[in-house]
Amino acid sequence: MAEFTLDLNDDQKQVRDWLHGFARDVMRPAAAEWDEREETPWPIIQEAAKVGIYSLDFYAQQFFDPTGLGIPVAMEELFWGDAGIALSIVGTGLAAVGVLANGTEEQIGTWIPQMYGDADDVKVAAFCSSEPDAGSDVASMRTRAVYDEAKDEWVLNGTKTWATNGGIAGVHVVVAVVDPGLGSKGHASFIVPPGTPGLSQGQKFKKHGIRASHTAEVVLEDVRVPGSCLLGGKEKLDERLARAREKAAKGGERVKNAAMATFEASRPAVGAMAVGTARAAYEVALDYAKTRRQFGRPIIDNQGIAFQLADMRTRIDAARLLVWRASWMATTGKPFTAAEGSMSKLYASEVAKSVTAQAVQILGGNGFTREYPVERMHRDAAIYTIFEGTSEIQRLVIARTLSGMPIR
């Protein structure tokens, strides 16, 4: 029997240390500037591309790590550097995963290289799913895709929101309704190539945190894309829709739960991002508590401060363990019988919010200023309990999984 271990292997340690160095030397010195500018940090993305971090090959290597720890280790280190810049670096991966999961080999080979560009001419891509009235409630999606058989084209109309890189991306991956009667089973994904008429950027959001990451609406007005831009192809879509119609009356719940497994497998990566931000704030607070003197001694000598730091570290380590467990389960095909993916995301995101708030408190007035990074980290941490499913949605998924109730 294989020995149980939580030790990273030599390759994983090498990648972790490499990413940590990039986060420390390139991302952190630039974090405050790009947070203030609220702009995409193109120079940092280009630096990441030059060293091989901003590339499909790098993320593929981490994704196929047989232990499942490649992605969470990478996400923790990058988001330890800075959440806003890190999201600008990894945001294209959302669109790339959408193509990898649903596209044909030809579509994968054609579009993913265009999403990243190269070190001399970096590009970004956007995954467009959420809508003004369809966030957690994906069945309420209104963006429509209608097939023009005479021209072998799909015509897309609607508005997407909260799209990372929306409008500034070269390639957009858009989720749209092709059969409104099937709810979320009537959705399909489409590639919108660079420069396609009818696609425009709507409102760019001025955000509370992760301000170096571009977030905007994407407006689609009679956007025509070739039939070849339907991910997976028309034949596969028709077969899937036919099966969904047959199962609409009976057996549909099994299909819904299988779909939920996909979301469960992706949520630990967000948990790892939250762990990285929490760890960064904790380390700043720890160093400050060791050096800040009040009443003739370092403030860490006070139990009120020391116990806070003890709790912060304990919760961060617990969150990481939940993330690693869920990531390992997803990679090794273990069933999420208790919604372990949602557990990891829920706990890690809540830890990030509480730990960064405690870090601000430990730094006192200094923590409330932009002269110290914990103020920014606290703002950034707020997103983790919102995107990729709010904390309330995670609790709903966990509770219904435990009770055996249907997850809708």
pLDDT tens column, 96-151:
988 988 899 999 999 999 999 998 999 999 999 989 887 666 667 899 999 999 99
Alpha helices per DSSP H over 292-390: 303-332, 340-363, 374-381
Q: What is the mean pLDDT of the chain?
A: 92
Instruction: Find out whether 270 and 349 touch, Cβ atoms under 8 Å.
Output: yes
**Number of helical (H) and strand (E) elements in the chain, helices listed first:** 14, 11
Number of other CB atoms surrounding residue 112 within 10 Å: 20
Q: Which two tokens stand for residue 12?
A: 């994983």
pTM: 0.91
pLDDT at 405 over 50: yes
C-alpha triplet 236, 238, 241: angle, nearest 5°:
110
Return the higher-pLDDT residue of 82 and 183: 82
Locate tokens 């870090």: which residue? 359
**At 31, which helix (H) or strand (E)?**
helix 28-37
Candidates 167, 182, 381; CA nearest to 278 is 381
Q: Among 38-47, 241-250, 393-402, name the one with the lowest average pLDDT.
A: 241-250
Instruction: Find out whether 247 and 255 touch, Cβ atoms under 8 Å.
Output: yes
- Give, to the nearest 10 degrees, the angle between helix 83-90 and helix 374-381: 50
Whole-number CA gyration radius for the chain: 22
- Cα dihedral sign, 35-36-42-43: negative
Q: Which of 131, 340, 350, 388 is catalytic?
A: 388
State residue 125's pLDDT score: 97
Q: What is the pLDDT of residues 321-367, one digit of tens each?
A: 999 999 999 999 898 899 999 999 999 999 999 999 999 999 999 99
pLDDT at 1 over 60: no
Candidates 177, 187, 182; CA nearest to 246 is 182
pLDDT at 88 over 50: yes
Q: What is the pLDDT of residues 262-291, one digit of tens each?
A: 566 679 999 999 999 999 999 999 999 999
Q: What is the pLDDT of residues 32-53, one digit of tens each?
A: 999 999 999 999 999 999 999 9
DSSP state of 197: T
Q: What is the pLDDT of residues 3-19, one digit of tens each?
A: 778 899 999 999 999 99
Q: Determine whether 375 is an active site residue.
A: no
Spatial distance between the Cα atoms of 259 and 190, rounded to a whole number of angstroms: 19
Instruction: Find out whether 65 and 331 touch, Cβ atoms under 8 Å.
Output: yes
Amino acid at 86: A
pLDDT at 179 over 60: yes
pLDDT at 253 over 80: no
Spatial distance between the Cα atoms of 72 and 91, rounded to a whole number of angstroms: 15
pLDDT at 177 over 60: yes
